């Protein structure tokens, strides 16, 4: 469904996520919005971006209108650099070859930790979720971009379970736990773009998305927000970004 701005929340998420990437990076991306964001960045600004899939494809190239339904789909392999086994791709993470991983989850907290395991008491959870897959590997070994819909039930003070670690309890606790690389770099939502301060490693608002107020953002967040000293307003999607995104996903499989 299109918003009054002329683009959907999913389109906004995809475009803002794409803007967080830089040319020359190696990006671990799953299907859906992460793949669209990485492909959009590759076509518009980052021709040297390398996309990795958990299924083993390195240097995936996505054709417009032929989005793969999973990271094991053979459409991912067209014009790819190579195809490896899943274990070998995860070993690239351990060896430090991956710069950024796209992540999502049912919950994210103020320190960028993600929960995709369960909601509620671990002994008797209210909801069981898919679990980690390769999420813990990515979060432990690379910088993360988290892209998700902004809802109070999702943005919580403390996640019910740390499936994928961000900055754990803040400060130096991530490094002290033995995770020497990576950490949550950005959180992108349909309401705002967040970073993390250098000392407490706590989430802070970098820019509000068009038409969003501080009050609306806080009302949809389950912890007290910190705002960057020079708070900005996110630049809305350009016609070029929207045109290419809709070319990549003409049937709105992921951006409808």
Query: The domain spanning residue 130 has which CATH number?
Result: 3.40.1080.10
* In-domain check, residue 255: no
Mean pLDDT of 184-198: 97
Confidence band for 204, pLDDT divided at 50, 70 and 90: very high
* In-domain check, residue 4: no
* In-domain check, residue 40: yes
- What is the CB neighbour count within 10 angstroms for residue 195? 17
**Could you give the number of structural domains in the chain?**
1
Range of the structural domain that residue 27 is part of: 9-248
- What is the CB neighbour count within 10 angstroms for residue 175? 14
Is the pLDDT at 1 greater than 50? The verdict is no
Query: Which pLDDT tens digit goes with each residue over 133-190?
Result: 888 999 999 999 999 999 999 999 999 999 999 999 999 999 999 999 999 999 999 9
* pLDDT (0 to 100) of residue 72: 79
Question: Could you tell me the strand order of the sheet in which 114-115 lies?
Answer: 114-115, 107-109, 155-156
Long-range (24+ apart) CB contacts under 8 A made by 89-92 are 89/52, 89/53, 89/54, 89/55, 89/56, 89/58, 90/54, 90/134, 90/137, 92/26, 92/52, 92/58
Q: What is the overall mean pLDDT for the chain? A: 93
CB 108, CB 189: distance < 8 Å = no
Confidence band for 2, pLDDT divided at 50, 70 and 90: very low
Mean pLDDT of 61-78: 84
* In-domain check, residue 108: yes
* In-domain check, residue 118: yes
Q: What is the dihedral of CA 31, 35, 37, 38, to 10 degrees?
A: 160
Cα–Cα distance measured from residue 180 to residue 170, given in angstroms and rounded to the nearest whole number: 14
Question: Would you please indicate which residues are annotated as catalytic (active-site) residues?
Answer: 54
Tell me the longest C-alpha to C-alpha distance in the chain. 50
* In-domain check, residue 213: yes
* In-domain check, residue 2: no
């Amino acid at each position: 469904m299109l918003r009054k701005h002329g683009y959907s929340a999913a389109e906004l998420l995809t475009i803002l996520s794409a803007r967080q990437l830089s040319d020359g990076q190696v990006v671990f991306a799953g299907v859906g919005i992460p793949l669209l964001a990485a492909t959009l960045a590759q076509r518009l600004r980052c021709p040297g971006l390398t996309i990795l899939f958990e299924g083993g494809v390195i240097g995936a190239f996505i054709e417009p209108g032929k989005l793969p339904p999973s990271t094991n789909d053979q459409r991912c392999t067209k014009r790819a650099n190579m195809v490896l086994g899943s274990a070998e791709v995860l070993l690239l993470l351990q060896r430090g070859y991956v710069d950024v991983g796209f992540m999502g989850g049912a919950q994210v907290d103020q320190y960028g930790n993600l929960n995709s395991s369960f909601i509620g008491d671990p002994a008797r959870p209210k909801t069981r979720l898919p679990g980690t897959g390769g999420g813990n590997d990515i979060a432990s070994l690379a910088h993360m971009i988290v892209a998700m819909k902004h809802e109070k039930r999702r943005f919580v003070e403390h996640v019910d379970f740390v499936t994928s670690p961000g900055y754990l309890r803040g400060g130096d606790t991530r490094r002290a736990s033995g995770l020497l690389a990576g950490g949550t770099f950005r959180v992108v939502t349909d309401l705002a773009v967040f970073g993390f301060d250098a000392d407490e490693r706590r989430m802070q608002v970098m820019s509000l998305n068009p038409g969003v107020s501080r009050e609306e953002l806080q009302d949809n967040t389950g912890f007290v927000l910190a705002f960057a000293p020079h708070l900005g307003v996110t630049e809305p999607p350009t016609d070029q970004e929207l045109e290419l995104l809709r070319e990549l996903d003409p049937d709105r499989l992921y951006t409808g």
